[in-house]
Structures are given as structure tokens and as C-alpha cells.
């Protein structure tokens, strides 16, 4: 029998970013004993890195904004592949979730008349991002943590124990989900297995409901804005538990990551720089984005620099600058400029805010960016342009969930935030992640609480044999001698994904990628980790690597299958969007041998009243003849 510590909860939330914290708050408020488990320090999650803001149609900066406009923008950004019900709930509920944060203690930047200030971002018709300078994620996490502390104080008053109903297990990695297999095919979640990163000791959670809120997958790619935790654990855990992933071919390459110096390549340069007036120029000094406005967006974007510049002062009577096209369009444009030999000395393009705003305005609106470039690249962005280029930033794909409850196909398993799929379709608009976390985090917490209530006294049970198997799997890298170290394989995997399944894709390169991934599978099975279980980064990486491999296989297989270009999936060999493909979702599942299968599934047609929010001419650009309203 495996030696471990054991805890029992109603709901276990894996991940302490915005989605996980909001889910945990909801589950606890609905009376459920809840654990939050996170592999990083509490407070260190991607959410904290979010700079630009949280999209919510509050109409503070432009009273024409409302949920219908936000819905339309989100569907356009995702090129109509989004799960329309998720996009609807998101647009409707985001303003309430932002207001609610202020009741928890958040303080957003203000308009002169005291309302929450909202800024421009790519793809959003009106200024819509509620923000705190360029440190919005920090405020969001700070506030959610503060709410958790206040709930713990309530619990202390009632029980004498701060952690009676809500406890955080930080620096603790979950490696496996457990199910009650006595129920056959409908086996429900019974708990989660993991280890403390510091001591390497095992920990087991008995719980009928698990909410995955583990964030993204960026560490499978070489150039990324993501930090070390984003190894696709939740995606892989869900698949091993029998859940399905959708939209995995859609990876967002943010157009503006730092390209220099090499040690910081990929670090994000927030879209707020462009939202606040920054422009992109090539080595010839040309504002090149005017050459890259696709037909589907032509009516909404300015054709001259003069009109684009007027828009910042008078958005109602001018069209938007093309620098604010959705991210996929801007990333491809930068890629093309660099390929055409018009790049900067370090292989990017110039992003210039210094000639557009006074220095004190730049340091006030973009304090983190100013600091980041000064410290990391010795560049003063108030005096000279930045060099930027695309960086792997966000995965649109994730666990296939029910929009209203965030439940997966596995009873008791829920997912919210970046680990869930569907909401953003083929491309996410900036700012729509923070609002997604709050809207669907809350719904996941409530969905899990309802599920627990439906079970009554009889709860799924954990089999000791499954615990022993999870422990054996976790320790496997210590068992072999003379194998490869995980760092080498990780580097090669990242390089292969970057080069062969990156921003522009071709069938033969993706086939090569799949051959490399099959080779990595064999090498990962024979990896060796030196040393002991006490804080051993090599071991941690070895465990994460299995997840990165599964996720990479999903991305490569789905990308090879989808024979069109849409959002975060650009095929050199199939350059256009194809309305027939829009009707199809690619669903990834796991075979018994651990390899990935991809199946096609029809999209559910959009509800009629939502369809009526669009002009027929616009729908014609995306939908097939049969799908168009009569």
C-alpha cells in the first residue's frame, strides 16, 4: 500500500489562477468543503501576468456597447467556430463578474466621472477592457485571494478552524485523476492523486467532484509567453480520465513577444501598447498593417493612417487602426514582413509608442512594459521603439464542456478557464480570457456543487489498486538507469512543435512532427531521473513531459486533419477559410496505448435569435448556403 497523506473534500479545484479561485469561492459559498491545489506558489499563476485587462461590455467608455456587440466581436474573433452558447453567457455575464470583483475589494482604474475605465483592444468594437494600469491580472488574483481569506475568517468564527471548508494546497502537483471503476462505462470521478513538490511525498484527495483550472500548454513550444507551469497537465489529466478535448489545432501566437535578448525571447508585450496608440512598422519605416486587412474585416478598419489616428479621439466617426485587428491576423502579418526581409536586426518588427505619446503618459499607462524593456533589454520605450515578434501565447482548445455547468463527459469532472475549450473558437480576443475565467469559473463551482448535491450519501470510491498504480507511474522515471534526461527531450519537443506545427503549417511538416512525437514517446518511456524525491526539478519535468507529449500530439493531429486556415490555425497548403469545415469540430480522445485519436463532430447550429444579431452579408462570409437564415 502506498504511503501518503489523505484528505476528503466535496470539491477539489486543481489550479489557483482566476478560474480556479472563482470556482472555489462559488463551491464554498454553496456550502461545499473545497480544496484548492496548485503546483506553483499560491498567487503565482498566469492570471497574475495578465496585463491588458478584462473584457466586459459595461458601456462606460462608449454607451453604445452592450452584450450583443461583445457577442458579435467574440464570434468574429473566433471566426464563428466558437461554442455560441459559451460566447453568449460570457458576453452577458462578464459585466456582473467585474462589478462583483469590486465588491470583493478590487479597484479598477477610473474614468474622470468615477466609473470603471475601459481601454481599446484588438477585435473589440468599443473600449471594453476594465483594467488596472497594465497589471490587471495582479489585481484580479489579489482580490480573489482576499475573498478567500474573508471566507476562511467566516469559517473560523463558525468552527474555530480557518481551513474547515476552504483550504489551499500550494506547490502540490496533481498527476492523476481517480475514478470509481465499479460503475463501468459511466465511472465517476472519485478523487485526485499528486505529490508535494518540496518533499516529493504523495497526497490523495477523496472527492466526488474535481474542477480542472490548470491553464494552458505553452511550454510545448520553444518561443512562448507562458511560464514553467503551463505544461498542459489539465488537458492530459482529463484525457486520461476519459474526457475529450476540442479545438486543439487552434493555438494563439500573440503578435508581440520580445525578440531580444535571447534569454527573454517570447516574453509578452501587451496589446495595450497598440490599444493606447502604438503602431507597428517594418525596417523601411512603413506602417505595414494597412496591407494586411482581410476581406472579412475590411469594412471595419481604416484605410489611411489619418483615419486610423483620428479613431483614437473619435471612434464613432472613424474606423479602427489595422494594428487592432484580431491577434491571428497581426501575427501572420508580422511573420510575412520578417520573411520578406523587412524585419528588424533581431528578426522582429518595430512597435513604436515613443513617437505617439508623451513620455509621462507612457510610464503612467504602461508602467510594467516600461520597466520590462528597461530591465531586460536596456530599451527605453519612451524614447525608442521595441522589437517584437509572434510568441505562443494561448490555447483555444481544451476540455469539451457543457456551457452552462462546465461539466465534461466524465461524471464529476469539470473544467474552466484556459483548460476548457469552445468559448473562443479558432481565436481568442485579448481581454476575453480574464472575463472567461470569472464567468465560467463561477459556473464550474456551481455546476460541481449541484453535482455533489445530486449524489446523496453514496459517493464514488477510490480503489487502492488505482492509488498504487498512480504512485508507480509517478516513480517510474527513478526506476530506469542509463536513460536520457528529460531536459534534452523537452528541448527537442519544443523545437519540433515550434518549427513543424507553429504559426504557418504544412501537411508534410506536421507528418514529420508526428513522427518526431512518436519517437519522443519511446524515449520518454525510457527516461532516467537522478537523485531523490525531495525537490527534484528533473523529476517534476519528467512527469510534466508526458502531459506535454499528449497535448502536442493532439495539436499536431488535429492540425493535420483540418484542411483550411482559420484563426490560430494557418495552413500553407489550404490558405482559405472553408465554410464546410466551420461546421466541424475535431474531438481528441485517448487510445488504450496512450496515443491520441481525432474524430469529427458536427457543430450545434447557432440559435436563431443569436443569428439575427448579424447582417446576412456578414454571415455569408462564414456559413454554408444551407446554414444561412431563410
Which residues are near ligand FAD by CB under 6 A? 14-20, 37-40, 45-47, 49-53, 136-137, 173-174, 213-215, 225-226, 229, 233, 268, 394, 417-419, 430-434, 437
**Residues recognised as catalytic:** 254, 274
Shortest Cβ 346–ligand FAD spacing (Å): 20
Closer residue to ligand FAD in complex, CB, 213/377:
213
Give CA–CA dist 11/529, Å, rounded.
Answer: 33
Query: Which residue, 60 or 432, is less far from ligand FAD as judged by CB?
Result: 432
Cell numbers for 236: 492530459
Assess contact for 36 and 19: CB atoms under 8 A: no
Give Cα 563 to chain centroid, integer Å.
24
- DSSP letter at 477 equals H
Residue 167 grid coordinates: 483550504
Classify burial at 29, counting beta carbons within 10 Å of its beta carbon; exposed 0-12, middle 13-18, buried 19 or more: middle
Give the span between the Cα atoms of 301 and 80, in whole angstroms: 19
Considering beta carbons, is residue 417 or 422 the nearer one to ligand FAD? Answer: 417
Question: How far is CA 307 from its chain centroid?
Answer: 34
- Beta strand 34-38 with 11-14 is parallel
User: Residue 245 forms beta bridges with which residues?
Assistant: 399, 588
Residue pair 40/230 in contact by the 8 Å Cβ criterion: no
Cell of 89: 453567457
Give the integer Cα–Cα distance in Å for 1 and 467: 8
Nearer to ligand FAD, 137 or 292 (CB): 137
Alpha carbons 546 and 535: distance in angstroms, whole number: 19
Torsions phi, psi for 11 (to 5 deg): -135, 130
**Minimum distance from residue 229 beta carbon to ligand FAD (Å):** 4
Runs of H (alpha helix) within 562-587: 579-582
* Chain centroid offset of residue 68 CA: 23
Beta carbon nearer to ligand FAD, 282 or 552: 552
What 3-state DSSP class applies to 577? coil
Q: Which is nearer to ligand FAD, 17 or 571 (CB)?
A: 17
The CB-nearest residue to ligand FAD is 17
Amino acid at each position: 500500500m502506498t504511503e501518503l497523506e489523505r484528505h476528503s473534500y466535496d470539491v477539489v479545484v486543481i489550479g489557483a489562477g482566476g478560474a480556479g479561485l472563482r470556482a472555489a469561492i462559488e463551491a464554498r459559498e454553496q456550502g461545499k468543503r473545497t480544496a484548492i491545489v496548485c503546483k506553483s506558489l499560491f498567487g503565482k499563476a498566469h492570471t497574475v501576468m495578465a496585463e491588458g485587462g478584462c473584457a466586459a461590455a459595461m458601456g462606460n467608455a462608449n454607451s453604445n456597447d452592450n452584450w450583443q456587440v461583445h457577442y458579435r466581436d467574440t464570434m468574429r474573433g473566433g471566426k464563428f467556430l466558437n461554442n455560441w452558447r459559451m460566447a453568449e453567457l460570457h458576453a452577458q455575464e462578464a459585466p456582473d463578474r467585474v462589478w462583483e470583483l469590486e465588491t470583493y475589494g478590487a479597484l479598477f482604474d477610473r474614468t474622470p466621472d468615477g466609473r470603471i475605465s475601459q481601454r481599446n483592444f484588438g477585435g473589440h468594437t468599443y473600449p471594453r477592457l476594465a483594467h488596472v494600469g497594465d497589471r490587471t491580472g495582479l489585481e484580479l488574483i489579489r482580490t480573489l485571494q482576499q475573498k478567500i481569506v474573508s471566507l476562511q475568517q467566516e469559517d473560523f468564527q463558525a468552527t474555530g478552524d480557518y481551513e474547515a471548508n476552504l483550504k489551499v494546497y500550494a506547490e502540490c502537483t496533481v498527476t492523476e485523476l481517480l475514478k470509481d471503476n465499479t460503475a463501468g462505462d459511466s465511472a465517476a470521478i472519485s478523487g485526485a492523486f499528486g505529490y508535494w513538490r518540496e518533499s516529493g511525498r504523495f497526497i490523495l484527495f477523496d472527492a466526488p467532484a474535481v474542477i480542472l483550472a490548470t491553464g494552458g500548454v505553452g511550454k510545448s513550444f520553444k518561443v512562448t509567453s507562458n511560464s514553467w507551469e503551463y505544461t498542459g497537465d489539465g488537458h492530459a489529466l482529463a484525457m486520461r480520465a476519459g474526457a475529450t478535448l476540442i479545438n486543439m489545432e487552434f493555438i494563439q501566437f500573440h503578435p508581440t513577444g520580445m525578440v531580444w535578448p535571447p534569454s527573454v525571447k517570447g516574453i509578452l508585450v501587451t496589446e495595450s501598447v497598440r490599444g493606447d496608440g502604438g503602431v507597428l512598422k517594418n525596417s523601411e519605416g512603413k506602417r505595414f498593417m494597412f496591407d494586411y486587412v482581410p476581406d472579412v474585416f475590411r469594412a471595419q478598419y481604416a484605410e489611411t493612417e489619418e483615419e486610423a489616428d483620428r479613431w483614437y479621439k473619435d471612434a464613432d466617426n472613424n474606423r479602427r487602426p489595422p494594428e487592432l485587428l484580431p491577434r491571428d491576423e497581426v501575427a501572420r502579418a508580422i511573420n510575412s514582413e520578417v520573411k520578406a526581409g523587412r524585419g528588424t536586426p533581431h528578426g522582429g518588427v518595430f512597435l513604436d509608442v515613443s513617437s505617439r505619446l508623451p513620455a509621462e503618459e507612457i510610464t503612467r499607462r504602461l508602467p510594467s512594459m516600461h520597466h520590462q524593456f528597461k530591465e531586460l533589454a536596456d530599451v527605453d520605450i519612451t524614447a525608442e521603439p521595441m522589437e517584437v515578434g509572434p510568441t505562443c501565447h494561448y490555447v483555444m482548445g481544451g476540455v469539451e464542456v457543457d456551457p452552462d455547468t462546465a461539466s465534461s463527459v466524465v461524471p464529476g469532472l469539470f473544467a474552466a478557464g484556459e483548460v476548457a475549450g469552445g468559448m473562443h473558437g479558432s481565436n481568442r480576443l485579448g481581454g476575453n480570457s480574464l472575463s472567461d475565467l470569472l464567468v465560467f469559473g463561477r459556473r464550474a463551482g456551481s455546476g460541481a456543487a449541484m453535482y455533489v448535491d445530486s449524489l446523496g450519501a453514496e459517493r464514488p470510491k477510490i480503489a487502492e489498486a488505482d492509488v498504487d498504480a498512480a504512485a508507480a507511474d509517478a516513480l517510474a522515471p527513478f526506476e530506469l538507469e542509463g536513460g536520457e534526461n528529460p531536459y534534452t527531450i523537452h528541448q527537442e519537443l519544443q523545437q519540433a512543435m515550434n518549427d513543424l506545427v507553429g504559426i504557418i503549417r504544412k501537411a508534410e511538416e506536421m507528418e514529420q512532427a508526428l513522427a518526431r512525437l512518436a519517437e519522443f514517446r519511446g524515449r520518454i518511456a525510457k527516461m532516467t531521473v537522478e537523485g531523490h524525491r525531495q525537490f527534484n526539478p528533473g523529476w517534476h519535468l519528467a512527469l510534466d513531459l508526458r502531459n506535454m507529449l499528449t497535448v502536442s500530439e493532439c495539436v499536431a493531429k488535429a492540425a493535420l486533419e483540418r484542411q483550411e486556415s482559420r484563426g490560430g490555425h494557418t495552413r500553407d497548403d489550404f490558405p482559405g477559410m472553408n465554410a464546410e469545415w466551420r461546421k466541424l469540430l475535431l474531438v481528441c480522445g485517448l487510445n488504450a496505448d496512450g496515443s491520441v485519436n481525432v474524430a469529427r463532430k458536427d457543430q450545434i447550429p447557432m440559435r436563431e435569435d443569436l443569428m439575427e444579431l448579424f447582417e446576412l452579408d456578414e454571415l455569408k462570409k462564414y456559413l454554408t448556403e444551407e446554414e444561412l437564415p431563410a
